[in-house]
Amino acid sequence: MIAVQNVAGTKVAVLGLGRSGRATVRALQQGGATVVVWDDGVPARVQAEADGLEVRDLSKSRSWDGVTMLVTSPGIPHLYPQPHPAIAAAWAAGVPVDNDIGLFFRSFATPDWDSFDNQPKVVTVTGSNGKSTTSALIHYILAESGRPAQLAGNIGRGVLDIEPARDGEVVVLELSSYQTDLARALTPDLAVFTNLSPDHLDRHGGLGGYFAAKRRLFAEGGPDRAVIGVDEDEGRYLANQLSEGPGDDRVIQVSSGAKLEGAAWAVFARKGFLAEWRKGRQVASVDLRGIKGLPGAHNHQNACAAWAVARSLGLGPKAIEAAMQSYPGLPHRSQRIAEANGVAYVNDSKATNVDSAVKALQAFQKIRWICGGLEKEGGLGPLVPHLGSVVKAYVIGREAAGFARQLPGIETEICTTMERAVGRAVAEAQAGETVLLAPAAASFDQYDNFEQRGDDFVAQVRARIS
């Protein structure tokens, strides 16, 4: 647990009592604060009272007497499409609003660090797609190389729930735009930007606001080194903004597909081969094609970003490559769950938007594609040019028929449920094909989250091939 600093003797309000909210309450209490809480869900409030916490309706002006700060959970809107009533009330009362990320960065360093031989470091990873895989891969490489490391943020544990830093430790944080947008303190040692595609536009007032939320980690965070994916204009803009010129190796450019020989320091992948270039010459190369935990060009971009971070932290190419070879992959992200009768089964339930689904479709040949769910803003048009490898689509979700109508030129079957979609795909799949769950949609029409959707896919597959 990271005890929040400089809150002893104060009263702090916490809005939202999910995973991060509960950890925030404990960290504030450990720092000596008195905590009052609110959650829009009745069960969470009942549990808070049972735990001895004071529950206040923070939308009421009288609730702010004596409160010095509001800490809000990342899933709660603080500006667009409209601020939560409690946040608006905090503004009216003149109470500063922060989140657990801001508390972490102001509390992580302690006087104990004075006795360390090697100062701990914080690596942050943000972007639209690949954040989780990149973060987990960095953590895995460090652990396999014997470097003490912790993984937290938008993956695994809440940032305030991790252990205090050890000598020379690296903390790897996956940070979403929801987390970077509001944090009052952002001071990573290394920061990674993977890529950008339209997502969460209602929450950020459009694509510009979405990018601005992620850009804060670099423009205001001031990392010592930045690893920037430059396959989109936003990444190229950000790399240019952070660099002092062609020889500035504080910015490591990363690409999946483009040769970046002109950058002072670059890591790129082309045709399945990773190459690291420094000062105009190649210094390392790795064949990524046989690494089962990192299939497809999108995962090769993740590998390049993780490679760049590991090299920045002083790891050698052989150690990094060895760790990558054994990397098992993350659940629900291009996760190869089974192979039977020459058919591979891949769970990419995390492909919740069109861009991530496109990357999944590009990673495999002869695909029996399970797709559909709660469609996101913008429609499915960008998917259409990438359907060439799809043998047949099995569409799930409450609006399966409408989803299927947006997939011209391929055979589709309206299945609605995962059970029927998997059953039909397993029955029809032939050797050499891949049954791929890459929904290109949110899960909330049928499931609580994408993990539950992926677990259902895995269970349905195993029930039929075991």
Contact 327, 293 (CB under 8 A): yes
Known binding residue 434? Answer is no
Known binding residue 127? Answer is yes
Contact 289, 295 (CB under 8 A): no
The residue among 66, 68, 35 whose CA lies nearest residue 52 is 35
Known binding residue 59? Answer is no
Known binding residue 132? Answer is yes
User: What distance in Å separates the CA atoms of residue 390 and residue 361, rounded to the nearest whole number?
Assistant: 8
CA dihedral of residues 135, 138, 143, 149 (deg, nearest 10): -60
Known binding residue 133? Answer is yes
Q: Which two tokens stand for residue 4?
A: 């929040």
Pick out the residues of the known binding site.
Answer: 127-133
Pick out the residues of the known binding site for ATP.
Answer: 127-133
